[in-house]
Amino acid sequence: MAGWRERLRGLTGRLTHASSASPADDARGGAVAASLRGLLDDPSIPADVRAAMAEDFRRVEHMLDRLENEELHVAVFGRVSAGKSALGNALLGRDAFEVGVLHGTTTRADVARLDEAAHAGLVLIDTPGINELGGEDRERLAFEVAEVSDLIVFVADGDLTREERDALRTLSATRRPLLLVLNKADRYADDERDGLLDRLRDHAEGLIRREDVIAVAARPTGREVIEVDAHGNERRHRELPAADVAALKTRLVAIAEREGKTLSAINAGLFAGRLTDQLSARIAATRRDVASRTIRQYCVAKAVAVALNPVPVADLLLAGGLDAAMVVQLSRVYGLPLTRSESGRLVAVISTQLAALMGAVWGMQLVSSALKGLSGGLSVVVTAAAQGALGWYATVLIGRAAEHYLVAGKSWGEQGAKRAVADIVASLDRDSILREAREEILKRLKT
C-alpha cells in the first residue's frame, strides 16, 4: 500500500511543476494511470475494506477512463440561481442542462462534452447549488464533484456573499485551478461591471489569478424592440440577445490544450493519494480489531489452561506454546508471516524484557504453579483465578508487543525492544485487565 502512495505522490509532485503539455507529461500521465490500475487491482486490500469503500474505487475507475480518453473535467459550481446551468448550455451551444426559474432545479451532477473543444477533451459538469434550503445532500454532492474534477468554474451573479467566499476558500484547498465568473454581466453598466470585477478579484486574491476573473452573460435579459413598417404601424416584440461567453470559452480551451493532460494526471494522483491514506487507515483499523480478537481468544485459552493444569511449571511451558501460536496468528493478520521458530524467538525476546520489568509478577506466577503441585491440585480454587489472570495479563502484554513489532515492519524501532515493551506496559491498565480476567476465568471454571 505504501508503495502505491509514494509512487503517486512522486509522480504528482513532478507534474505539479509542469507548466505546459509535453511528451514527458504523456509519460507521467501514463505512469499515474498504471499506478491507479495497480491500486484497483491490489490483492492486499481486504475484501471488507474494498466493499466499504466501493464508491471511492468507482471514482478511481472513472478517473482512469478520463486519463485514457484524455478528458479534462470542468465543474460548474456556485450558489443557487447564479446561472450555472445556463452558463453550461451557453458554452455548449445547446440545452444539455436543465434550466428553471425555481431554486434548486439542478439536483444531480450532469455531464456534457463541449463539442467545439472535443479535441481538447473538455467535459462540463453541472452541479447543484450550494445554498438551497434543505439541500444539504446536494451541497455535499457539489463539493464532491468539484473535488474530483480537474478545473472549477465558480459562478457568481454579483458581489460575493460570505457563504460564497467560504466556498471559494474550501474549493481552493482542493488544489484545483479555479476560474471566477461574473454571470449576468449584461445587467450592469460598463463602469459598474468593471468595478464589480475589481471587487471579485480582491475577494479572490491569493486564490485565483486576476486574469481568471471573467465577465459573461449566459442568458442576457431580453429587450423590447419596436419596429415601424412603411405605413407607420408599430410592431413590438421581445429580442433575446446572444449569449456572451466567448472569453470564458477561449480561456477554457486554452487551458485544456496547454495543461489538460497535466491537470488530469495531477488531480487523479491527488485523489488516489488521499484514497490510499484512507485505505491504509481503514486496513490498519481492521487489522487492529482482528488482532484484538485474536489476543483475547488466546488470553482465554491461556488463562484457563494455566488455571486448570495441576502439574508444576508445566502450565507455564504450555503458556509459552500458546504465546508462540498467538504470535504466528498475529503475523498473518499483519501480512508478515512468521514461522513457529521465529515466533518462539520473538516471544523469548519479549518475555525477557517483561521479566526484567516485572520480575515480581512472574515470581508470583511461579509460586502459584508450585503451590498447585504441592497441594495435589486442592488449591486450584484458591490459586487458579489469580494465576490465570496473570497468564491473561502476560498474554495481553506479549500480544501487544508482538503487534508493535509487526506494525513497524518486523522492527523494534530506533529505541529497541526494551523501550518498546516498557511503553506498552505503561500504556495498559493492569488492574482493569486483571479484574476482567478473574471474572472471565471464574465464570468459566464454574461451568
pLDDT confidence of residue 64: 80
Across the strands, what pairs with 228? Answer: 234
Q: What is the pTM of this model?
A: 0.57
- Point out which residues pair with 215 in neighbouring strands: 182
Grid coordinates belonging to 179: 476560474
Provide the pLDDT for residue 311: 52
Whole-number pLDDT of residue 445:
73
Residue 161 C-alpha cell reads as 456573499
pLDDT tens sequence across 200-244: 999 999 899 999 999 999 888 766 667 777 777 777 766 677 888
SS3 234: strand
Length of the chain equals 447
Beta bridge partners of 225: 237
Q: Which pLDDT score, from 0 to 100, does residue 316 have?
A: 53
Buried residues in 330-368 as b, exposed as e (16+ CB within 10 A): bbebbeeebeeeebbebbebbbebbeebbeeebeebeeb
pLDDT of residue 19: 44
**Given this model, what pLDDT does residue 66 score?**
73
What pLDDT is attached to residue 181?
Answer: 94
* pLDDT for the residue 25: 53
pLDDT value at position 375? 47
Mean pLDDT per segment of 10 residues, for the chain of length 447 residues? 48 45 55 77 78 80 76 82 82 63 41 48 76 59 72 91 85 83 91 93 91 90 70 72 86 80 74 76 86 91 74 55 90 89 90 73 50 47 69 88 91 88 88 84 76
Task: Quote the CA–CA distance of 10 and 5 in Å, as a whole number.
Answer: 9
- Amino acid in position 12: T
Task: Find out whether 416 and 349 touch, Cβ atoms under 8 Å.
Answer: no
Q: Which helix (H) or strand (E) holds 47?
A: helix 47-52
